[in-house]
Amino acid sequence: MLERLDYVKLAPARILDAGCGPAPQAARLLRRYRGAHLVGVDLSIGMLQRIAPPGLLDRLRGKGGTTAVCADIGRLPLASRSFSLVWSNMGLHWGEDPQAAICEFHRVLEVDGLLMFSTLGPDTLKELRAAFADVPGAARVHSFIDMHDLGDMLVAAGFAAPVMDTETITLTYPGIDAMVADLRATGQTCALERRSPGLFAPAHWERVRVALGRSMQDGRLPATIEVVYGHAWKPVPRRTAEGHAIVNLRSDSRSHR
């Protein structure tokens, strides 16, 4: 995502890092856009507390810094048209309602502002999802939104000319225990509302192990990660919030020639 900014002409004064976690890209964004102020929004106060504070020299020089806000990206407590760039790296799939979050991104962007995001696509952890498919009980593995559906959400929210693409990364592990340990260590645990509140029965877990064992390739267990990238611009509005058409009545001398 940072590399893609090389092809974008933008000089944002304010940047929203939506679903920022500990804001690992904040320093690089602020180095790229000198003087910009970055607001990091995340629902986890623990993540926000890990954001590195600006250095002493930066504070003395009055350079842009980072403000942390604990909030839901689907209900942003931020003013409309207050950001030039909305940046959301791997945050959208954690939201309860991705469409609501995208609408909020549109609301807080200035006209001609840019939304740039990444999220997980439907092939993510397909091996693990298939292994759980025959196990009784509630779902244990998230499903993720298709690239084309995300593009439709952008258009529905009012964005113009969305550009979407995907990248597939395959991680491999010596076995299921290593894969589960990695998922837990990186916070990728089950957050589904319909997940089972009880313990997972040992017999069910054994069925998952057997199913995953059939996915082994050359002694390694693959785990597919589909990354969806998207960006879109906020155009000049054609309708009001109430749905009324906006008509430009400014005179244009060329129309009278």
- 246 lies in a domain? no
Domain count, the chain: 1
CATH number for the domain harbouring residue 97: 3.40.50.150
In which band, very low, low, confident or very high, does the pLDDT at 186 lie, cut at 50, 70 and 90? confident
The predicted structure's pLDDT at residue 191: 75
**Residue 169 structural domain:** 3-238
The predicted structure's pLDDT at residue 257: 41
- 253 lies in a domain? no
The pTM (predicted TM-score) of the whole model is 0.85
- 154 lies in a domain? yes
Tokens of 45: 């106060």
Q: What is the DSSP letter of 124?
A: T
- 248 lies in a domain? no
What average pLDDT does range 168-194 have in this prediction? Answer: 88
32 Cβ contact partners less than 8 Å away, ≥ 6 residues apart: 2, 5
- 76 lies in a domain? yes
- 250 lies in a domain? no
Tokens of 240: 């009001």
Residue 256 has pLDDT above 50, yes or no: no
Residue 255 has pLDDT above 80, yes or no: no
Q: Which DSSP helix (H) or strand (E) runs through 69?
A: strand 66-70
Cα–Cα dist 71/181, whole Å:
28
In which band, very low, low, confident or very high, does the pLDDT at 39 lie, cut at 50, 70 and 90? very high
